[in-house]
Structure 1
Amino acid sequence: MSRERGEMRMYNLVDEHGTGILMPWVRYGVKTNDFSLLNEFFDSMVKHFMYNDGNGKYIPISELVMIRNKQRNAILSALRRKKGHGKSGPNILEDFDQSTQAKGDFSKALKLLDGFVNSNRNIKYRLVVWDLNEKGNMGENLLNLCLLHNTVEHNTLAIKLVQHFPKMINDIFISEEYYGLSPVHQAIVNEDIQMLYFLLKHKADVHQRCYGSFFCADDQKDTRSDSLEHEWVDVQPNTRYTGRMYWGEFPLSFAACTRQPDCIRLLCAFKADPNVRDTNGNTVLHMCVIHSLPDMFRLVHSLGGKLQITNEQKLTPLGLAAKLAKKDMFDVIINIEKLTLWSCRDTVCTAYPLRGIDTIDEITGQLNQSSVLSLVVYGDKSDHLDFLDNLLDDLLQKKWEAFGMRKLIHSIIGYTIYLIAFFIAFLIRTPRAPYEPFYYSNGTYSDQNSTMHFFTSDYFGINEHLYQDERCYLWSYSDTPGSYLQRIRLICELIAVISSLIQFGHEAREIIHSSHKRWWLTTKTFPGKIIHKTSFLIILLMVPIRFACSLSEWAVVVENVLGIVAALTTSMHCLFFFRAVKFIGPFILMVYKIIADDIVRFLLIYSVFLLCFSQAFFVIFKSCERDSGPDFENVFSSPGEGLLRMFIMSVGEFTAIYKNLQSCQSVIGIQGKIVFLIYELLVTVMLLNLLIAMMTRTYERIAETQKEWKRQWAQVILMLERSVPPGERLRIMIEYSRPLKVDKTQRALVVRQKKDKTTPISIKKRNHQKKKPLHRLLTLNSLNLNMLRRASAFSESDNSAMEMSKSIA
């Protein structure tokens, strides 16, 4: 593909501008209806560009993949190049003379030898008609080039080529950008249904896949890599399916994405399967969801498209609509799946299947993280809030009534007991033991309190060591006569430690049952709960540190530090319960958003100014201290002190520092005042007001969202659902649902609603759909023009890229 423009002899027949040797004879044939001279040119000139005079030749897929990989690496920089991986296997065609073989029997035998069975399309060889060394700049042949021009004369030439060389109909582009693009794809892009019908009548492959990077999702283009073991391109499965030209590889997907219902019907009439999956696992229905095409979705579904097929991200079309926040497509699919039970006047009773919608699996009771409800509640788009109406709202209300309210009350009670015990354990601590309550004698302690005897008996041989060391005063749980404070402290500490062990074991079990990724995906939406879980770990760490109290005096210090941190983190769990309250929940989210987004960004900028000005003031005050003598009070005595002083200045406490500058006897004091003024203007005035503006914008953005509180409430319900055992979850689901038809394993949620609420697409969405055909025509018309421009400009860019790669190598 890196040959010079003059070496591409095919462009002498028909070039990028639509002219060439064959075009006058095509015009002559169109006028006189006599194409005999054109056929003679085919036999004398064109067939020499083909393998075996137009009968084709089987070429290993690994060879084609290497051509594609080489071209991609010529475009990419040296650091981003990826070699093809895998093994190509032996070439079983080396000993065959393909020019003398009967093509029909030979192809059947080749499929058997290669392991090709039934629907498995992982073939190792491809029939190629046009000589690979004679292809154009984009890996196209003469038929592809004619369809790119898409004029009456060029289409006539394409028809005559197919009639004269029937094997040519399935030849594809061999290039990185357009690999796999076939004449069928081109006819669909050209919106030429007559040409499409002609190609299909002449046995064109309706399942040919287009793997080119031009038709790949934008966020996957940098992850493309090849394997010599198969023809398709390996990509990173985690994608948002961005890009207008991601059309799903198959001709049927191309027709659906370009909104051509007649082409869809025609392809299905020629046995095109609407349920085949592309590299991302997406079917035609998935592609309709990605590009928001409700009309095409209904049509493909009526022609046999299945709603239960999942893609590589384990998402059905319904789940994909929820993940991408396509509310209009969600309504379309829901209206297809729903079952109307009865209607009376303006009220409709409808049963909605819960499979794929509810977070609870209908059979096992396990949680489904790919369910619609989970994707919507934990979605990161504001459009996800539009889903929390009608069906999902009713489903959440059923969950709240079934277990949510009860679990939340139990959780609040348990947390309150834990919080009270935790704080009492710290509040009644004594700084040191008031007196020696125990007397060690012969391995035991004499104590008249039988209740404390268990905890003071020397079962492990450590009491003698601990009680004789004054640093281990926290091990003393004895009281003065008439006081019970230390015994209460013992009970409270036991409650805190046992509660932490139970909660820690519960979290460990949950991580084991579900993957750590799923656990983190759910937990990260509750920062207050994460901080609370951290406090459990801190409390458990305090136990071995207390045992080490006699080893060093720092053990007590470390335990006190951990206790302070635990006290701060334990109280943050209250924010989790407040999120379920309508008038408080959105404000809790505002606090999280402001801290995570606004304050973090502000601190990055603020730290730069703080470091610069603190060091400048450190130098200034050192000069003042040297010139003014011992009477000068240097408040910037060290760099660390300088940072702290600059922070105090930024919040308004700058009087003391200015007084010090005023008493400076050095000439540099004037410069210090100028730096002081600049700091006040840049930091105190500008940066702090910038922070206020950022926080105000975040506040207004969340406050304008009317349904944000409902998402907070839903997240609390799903978090509480995790604590319910699978068996109980299944029982709860059976209570708020009913069997769907005869199969009792399929559950449905019965909803009563007004008829005006069942409209799937709003007027605004319909107007948006009406604007799409014009945009589609502009896109399709510009596609062929861009490809032709690339064909004419590709030679120079390709040669320069190859030269650059050689120089880098």
Structure 2
Amino acid sequence: MQVVKSLLCFVYGFVVLNVSVCTGRSWVTTDELENHISPEDLNEFLKWRFLNENDDSTTTSFPDLDYGSLENNITGLPVPDIVDCFGLGSFAQHLFNMQPDSVDKVNTHFYFSSRQYPERVQVFPGDQFGLEWVDFRPDRQTVMIVHGFMSHSNASWVTDMTRAFLEWDDVNVIAVDWSKGGNTWKYWRAVANTRRVGSDVTGFLRQLIAVTGAKVKDFHFIGHSLGAHISSYVSYHLGGVSRITGLDPAQPCFRTNSLAERLDATDADFVDVIHTNGRLLKRIGFGLPEPTGHADFYPNGGMKQPGCYNTSNSIWARIVSIPVARLQQAICSHGRSYLLFTESLINNNCSFRGHRWNLTYEGVNASLEAACDRIASCSEMGIRAAGGDGLARAIGAYFVLTTDKEPYCPTEWERRHPLPELLHDLRKGFRLDRSIKPAANVTEGYANPDRTKQVTTTTETSGGLLVDMMKRAVQNKQYAEIDHAIKTKVEPFLYNKGNGRYIPISHLVLFRNKERPRHKLLPALRGMENPDEEFDVEKDWPVVTQEQYDANPSGYRELCWDLKERGAVGETILHLCLLNATTLRDDLAKRILRFYPKLINDIYISDEYYGESVLHMTIVNENPTMVKFLLDAGADYHERFCGNFICPEDQKASRYDSLDHEWVNVQPNTNYEGYVYWGEYPLSFAACLGQEESYRLILARGADPDKQDTNGNTVLHMLIIYDKMSTFDMAYEVGASLNIRNVLNLTPLTLAAKLARTDLFVHILNIEREIYWQIGATTCAAYPLGLVDTIDTETGLIHKDSALNLVVFGEKDEHLELLDGMLINLLKIKWNTFVKFRFYRRFIVFSFYFLVSLVCFTLRPGPPDRTANSTVVNSTAGPTLNLTLDVANCTAILKGTELDSGAVEVINVTRPDIHCSRFKSHRKDKDKSFDSPRESMGDWWQDLTEECRLMNFDSWQAKVRISGELLLWLGAIAFIGGALREARFLGLKMFIENLSTVPSRIMFLFSCLLMLVLPTLRLWCADEEEDHLAVIIMLTTAPYFLFFCRGFKTVGPFVVMIYKMVMGDLLRFVCIYLVFVMGFSQAYYVIFLSFDNPNTPEGVDDSVSNPMPSPMESIMAMFLMSLTSFSDYYSAFERTDHEIEAKLLFVLYMIIVAILLVNMLIAMMGNTYQKIAETRNEWQRQWARIVLVVERGVPPQQRLKQLLTYSQPMANGKRALVLRINQTDEEKEEMKEIFEMKRTHDRIVAKRKQREAEIKGCKGRPPPQPVRDYPIKK
């Protein structure tokens, strides 16, 4: 099996690298390939064997040789003969050539740089060794940069780092080039060559030290990927190196090796490591994830770096079945380490401050919020990690926040507020890889070693005490040692020596609540300054007896593992055993349960994974055998996993606790989208993951498939969400119910309609229907309308959560596919029964209303005729200029009114401002008094009809107009009354939703309201205001025709296009268009402030002839110019003081707006038109919405009456739609299968009800008891 696995790993590595390197263009760019390792799934090296001259099998020590002896005595070098990267042993010698290459083939080169000679100069070791061509000084620090796999010393990052070092300080920089030994698709060969390169570098440095007198303590090695391990090798043989900086040291072939064969803290006085891609290799991680040096920095968590989200569309990405995007992310993240280190050299204005971290997701926020008031609690990543200049040397693991692009150094605010996407990736990564980063033994002060002692017993690596003992016990069949260790090591962490203890739910909720932000803390914790430390869960913990628990089982929980001795996320030793999912750890878990059976129902108690039990974990591990064992041992199959990790993404921010119950409250509205939202219960887990065997095992023990989670979803709801047809049939067949509603009042059928699960929706309809008869291919079936129709079958009210309503008003393209079959037949029957008549009646009434309004506004009289006479006005413009101007005096002559000529006033203007003469007029007999009230009323009406043009009814046109206006006024009252009546029986909320689907109706109702205001303005003789209102009425009345046009197939699609273009394309265009119009308009307004009309005399204002006299006029001018109406404005440019600037702005504006933006709008509209035209059922959806909108306008009693007309009663009294359908052979076969499935379902449900009745007669089912009769092997 190991051989097969290794061969598969080899093929995977060959495809990834050979395709990417040898094709010349792949889904990995050349820059990305420069310095990254391959993704082969390699396991470990054999311990290096060194050959001496006399005995090939004898392991020799490392001789302290000078370079000459190294050069002349190759067999004495500390270079391995065989590198076993696949764990195949001697078989690898025959299958692969794993020997390191020769010195000549690797051909290691050394390039020197300094401030005086910054250009690279090659230094040749051996007989030609000499430093006269370079500026090497032994009193300076020497920095040696070693590249990694698939890179070279001339790579851009090596050049940039060299330049940055020389700017940072006066140092010697040596770049090592071993590209001939590292640029190979055979990664194991590159690994083997690292030892060859290490020996070459060691010999070179020894000769350098001997010649120049340089000191080893002045050396600083910087290695990326494989280069980090080369640096470790060199430092090991030189001894006394001051510092090694590992830039994401390579993981494949090194992670499981001993410390002597890879970079570790013993290699130098100070080893600092930057982890940027520290994930498991199976998760496509190239760097070592574990802490390796004295100081380990984890930028953004060290798994995946922000900004590394490349995708690929190359042909290889489609042919080769590998996760290309994830591979690119890993390559990008792997290379981020040297970019961060280089920036630490050149960016003096910002520092990569790291906060001590316990390597857990839960510790991220606590780490960032912690004050840097303790020694080494904060440190700087990069060149300053070694301390100095007032900074303490870094010790431990640090979390560092960076940005997603250069410069990577964050601001202070960004450093304290990580992005939600980053936290999401961290949470997901720790969930998958958390076993590689144990919370214990990382950094003191952040993780209590006593609290997490149990973590070290079952880690993934081979250092766990119980794991090693169990391994020996399995091999030797002697279990005394492991049994004794379990009794002595595990029992101190248990309550009452494993007998457990009951805790009130309120105490457990408070224990979980202390992890939440302060605004979500419960009142009992809100007054504490630091609830995490001040809250004592054992304080006021009452002693709960078995009788108290039996009386109120929901108020207490039995715990076995001490709450204060849990792991970082509230886990126990049993969770860790099953987390790694190996046979050895499963056996260890079984062994522990034989001694302490009550451990089986202990759960995670942190909010992230609260409620997760070992049964949940075993189902996720796809291990039915272990599921059966846990069920036999008494695992609670109704345990709820309600932690934040499993919650839908849009509900995570709304989580809050309550002392009344154990589960977490969330806001009900959700789209159910979550990475691992699997329904909380073990049965739902098994269903969502397709574990049919586990599902049947749990169900056979008495699990209820109709149990509802926090969102009210059952097993069938969850299968609808994940669109699993076969599992749905299995769950329904063995007893799951189809009529349970969740928190949003959705059954599985209506949930399928809401989420547009087409196949499952049709399938459930076929399950619920009744077959009346079948003749050949014709079948008569009755479809129940209770969950489908929008009309409630009992009250006639609108059923908002019905399947038809959810499908018709759904916005997804998949909803269009549901408008077929039974739903479209139901809509057609509604249309023919009562909707069509009401639709055409409403259309005819509105058409008549619109025609009357058209006649009224057409016959509306205009303003009275005006006569103009001239009056000479003498004006003095300034102290020296006298002007005589003819100013038109406008005198309004009222018909039948004699004017008093003495009332005319002529104004002599002797001021610079020139005004028009004003005239006053009044009747000669205005001062007469009337004694008769009748005569007074008659004269008032006469004055009103004479002064108000709209009240003059002498002509036949006026009589027709006033008659039409009375009809419009009555029609407006009728339309408003109908809308109020509809709102009364629909309810305000649904009425508003109904109006929102028909925007043109909102405009029409608004015009009706304005129509009711017109008589008031008429009596006040406010003709001008009435004219304005009349214009608005006409503009808001006509668009109501669009609603009726949607009901006709010839013009309906075009109405949909208009709506889509206005609300989508045009709205986006206007937003961008206004930006340019506002900017250019104000620029032109400033330019036209200097406008001077040569035809205007000096001293006279030019604003009358100025094209842009005000900011508003300039905005309108820009609009007209965008419509290519610019001749008047262009000719006016030469009359300003900024003619050249105006014309340049004109050219720029026409290019951006008139050419670019306008044509972009045309292209967007064309795209929208094409999409809607190609959509098959888009018009059908608009027609369906019209049917439902008209239906909502019918009173409930009449709706119920119409329902009884088009439906028929079923055997159980429910209403159904009876259809005759033609079926294919496949559909007939499916009908038979559904019939058998329904029979099995009914039989199982009947048995369950009988069993529940028996249990109820026995006063309830006793809780599951652990199996206690397992023999213990001595």
Provide TM-score, normalisation by structure 1. 0.82
What amino acid sits opposite 1:526 in the alignment?
V
State yes or no: 1:573 paired with 2:1016.
no
What amino acid sits opposite 2:1219 in the alignment?
V
CA shift in 2, pair 1:96/1:230, >3 Å? closer
- Following superposition, the deviation at residue 85 of structure 1 comes to 6.8
CA shift in 2, pair 1:201/1:444, >3 Å? farther
Residue in 2 that maps onto 1:6: 449
> Which one of 675, 679, 690 corresponds to residue 248 of structure 1?
679
- State the number of aligned residues: 712
State yes or no: 1:717 paired with 2:1192.
no
Q: Is the 8 A contact 2:986 2:1192 kept in 1?
A: no
- Following superposition, the deviation at residue 515 of structure 1 comes to 3.4
- Following superposition, the deviation at residue 193 of structure 1 comes to 0.8
Residue in 2 that maps onto 1:599: 1066
CA shift in 2, pair 1:755/1:338, >3 Å? farther
Residue in 1 that maps onto 2:480: 36
> Which one of 20, 31, 47 corresponds to residue 491 of structure 2?
47
State yes or no: 1:678 paired with 2:1148.
yes
Alignment of 1:419-434 (within 5 A): 419-431=850-862
What amino acid sits opposite 2:976 in the alignment?
F
Q: Is the 8 A contact 2:1207 2:1215 kept in 1?
A: no
Residue in 2 that maps onto 1:644: 1116
Q: Is the 8 A contact 1:466 1:475 kept in 2?
A: no
- Following superposition, the deviation at residue 591 of structure 1 comes to 0.1
Helix, strand or coil for the counterpart of 2:520?
Answer: coil
Alignment of 1:259-298 (within 5 A): 259-298=690-729
State yes or no: 1:615 paired with 2:1090.
no
State yes or no: 1:582 paired with 2:1020.
no
Partner Cα separation in structure 1 for residue 522 and residue 941 of structure 2: 66
Q: Is the 8 A contact 1:738 1:750 kept in 2?
A: no
Residue in 2 that maps onto 1:493: 965
Residue in 2 that maps onto 1:234: 665
Residue in 1 that maps onto 2:917: none
Partner Cα separation in structure 2 for residue 44 and residue 148 of structure 1: 23
Q: Is the 8 A contact 1:348 1:755 kept in 2?
A: no
Alignment of 1:492-531 (within 5 A): 492-531=964-1003
Residue in 1 that maps onto 2:51: none
Q: Is the 8 A contact 2:768 2:783 kept in 1?
A: yes
Residue in 1 that maps onto 2:758: 327
Q: Is the 8 A contact 1:61 1:228 kept in 2?
A: yes
Helix, strand or coil for the counterpart of 1:618?
Answer: helix
Residue in 2 that maps onto 1:119: none
Q: Is the 8 A contact 2:678 2:685 kept in 1?
A: yes
CA deviation map 1:207-249 (0-9, x unaligned): 1111112211122222222223222222221111112311111
Partner Cα separation in structure 2 for residue 759 and residue 630 of structure 1: 96
Which consecutive unaligned segments of at least 5 residues does structure 2 have?
A: 1-361, 364-445, 527-535, 865-893, 897-928, 1231-1274
Residue in 2 that maps onto 1:744: 1213
State yes or no: 1:729 paired with 2:1199.
yes
What amino acid sits opposite 1:610 in the alignment?
V
Q: Is the 8 A contact 2:948 2:1023 kept in 1?
A: no
Q: Is the 8 A contact 1:614 1:643 kept in 2?
A: yes
CA shift in 2, pair 1:340/1:584, >3 Å? same
- Following superposition, the deviation at residue 402 of structure 1 comes to 0.2
Residue in 1 that maps onto 2:786: 355
- Following superposition, the deviation at residue 539 of structure 1 comes to 1.9
Residue in 1 that maps onto 2:843: 412
Helix, strand or coil for the counterpart of 1:341?
Answer: strand
Partner Cα separation in structure 1 for residue 537 and residue 524 of structure 2: 18
Residue in 1 that maps onto 2:801: 370
Helix, strand or coil for the counterpart of 1:743?
Answer: coil
- Following superposition, the deviation at residue 516 of structure 1 comes to 2.8
> Which one of 148, 162, 168 corresponds to residue 593 of structure 2?
162
- Following superposition, the deviation at residue 94 of structure 1 comes to 7.5
Partner Cα separation in structure 2 for residue 517 and residue 83 of structure 1: 34
- Following superposition, the deviation at residue 647 of structure 1 comes to 0.5
CA shift in 2, pair 1:283/1:723, >3 Å? same
State yes or no: 1:557 paired with 2:1024.
yes
- Following superposition, the deviation at residue 344 of structure 1 comes to 2.5
What amino acid sits opposite 2:1074 in the alignment?
S
Helix, strand or coil for the counterpart of 1:602?
Answer: helix
Identity of aligned residues (%): 38
CA shift in 2, pair 1:428/1:273, >3 Å? same
Residue in 1 that maps onto 2:812: 381
CA deviation map 1:652-677 (0-9, x unaligned): 1122222112444x3x3112211111
CA deviation map 1:250-299 (0-9, x unaligned): 11111111011111111111111111111111111111001000111111
- Following superposition, the deviation at residue 19 of structure 1 comes to 3.6
Residue in 1 that maps onto 2:1224: 755
Structure number with bigger Rg = 2
What amino acid sits opposite 1:378 in the alignment?
F
- Following superposition, the deviation at residue 494 of structure 1 comes to 3.0
Residue in 1 that maps onto 2:775: 344
Residue in 1 that maps onto 2:948: 473
Helix, strand or coil for the counterpart of 2:1213?
Answer: strand
Alignment of 1:214-229 (within 5 A): 214-229=645-660
State yes or no: 1:191 paired with 2:628.
no
What amino acid sits opposite 1:745 in the alignment?
K
What amino acid sits opposite 2:814 in the alignment?
D
- Following superposition, the deviation at residue 717 of structure 1 comes to 0.9
State yes or no: 1:540 paired with 2:990.
no
Partner Cα separation in structure 2 for residue 686 and residue 758 of structure 1: 55
> Which one of 692, 704, 710 corresponds to residue 1162 of structure 2?
692
| Greater share of residues in helix | 1
Partner Cα separation in structure 1 for residue 1126 and residue 950 of structure 2: 47
CA deviation map 1:498-539 (0-9, x unaligned): 332232233233333333332233322222222212222222
Helix, strand or coil for the counterpart of 2:832?
Answer: helix
What amino acid sits opposite 2:1126 in the alignment?
F
Partner Cα separation in structure 2 for residue 254 and residue 132 of structure 1: 26
Residue in 2 that maps onto 1:767: none
Q: Is the 8 A contact 1:332 1:760 kept in 2?
A: no
CA shift in 2, pair 1:309/1:55, >3 Å? same
Alignment of 1:113-124 (within 5 A): 114=552, 123-124=554-555
What amino acid sits opposite 1:506 in the alignment?
G
State yes or no: 1:210 paired with 2:641.
yes
Partner Cα separation in structure 2 for residue 440 and residue 687 of structure 1: 70
Partner Cα separation in structure 2 for residue 97 and residue 651 of structure 1: 82
CA shift in 2, pair 1:759/1:419, >3 Å? farther
- Following superposition, the deviation at residue 18 of structure 1 comes to 5.8
- Following superposition, the deviation at residue 467 of structure 1 comes to 6.7
What amino acid sits opposite 2:966 in the alignment?
L
CA shift in 2, pair 1:47/1:578, >3 Å? same
- Following superposition, the deviation at residue 418 of structure 1 comes to 1.8
- Following superposition, the deviation at residue 326 of structure 1 comes to 0.8
- Following superposition, the deviation at residue 696 of structure 1 comes to 1.0
Residue in 1 that maps onto 2:422: none
- Following superposition, the deviation at residue 597 of structure 1 comes to 0.9
CA shift in 2, pair 1:428/1:759, >3 Å? farther
- Following superposition, the deviation at residue 333 of structure 1 comes to 0.8
What amino acid sits opposite 2:447 in the alignment?
E
- Following superposition, the deviation at residue 343 of structure 1 comes to 2.4
State yes or no: 1:309 paired with 2:758.
no
- Following superposition, the deviation at residue 432 of structure 1 comes to 7.3
Helix, strand or coil for the counterpart of 1:199?
Answer: helix
Helix, strand or coil for the counterpart of 2:657?
Answer: coil
- Following superposition, the deviation at residue 71 of structure 1 comes to 2.6
- Following superposition, the deviation at residue 64 of structure 1 comes to 3.0
Root-mean-square deviation (CA, aligned residues, Å) is 3.1
Helix, strand or coil for the counterpart of 2:514?
Answer: helix
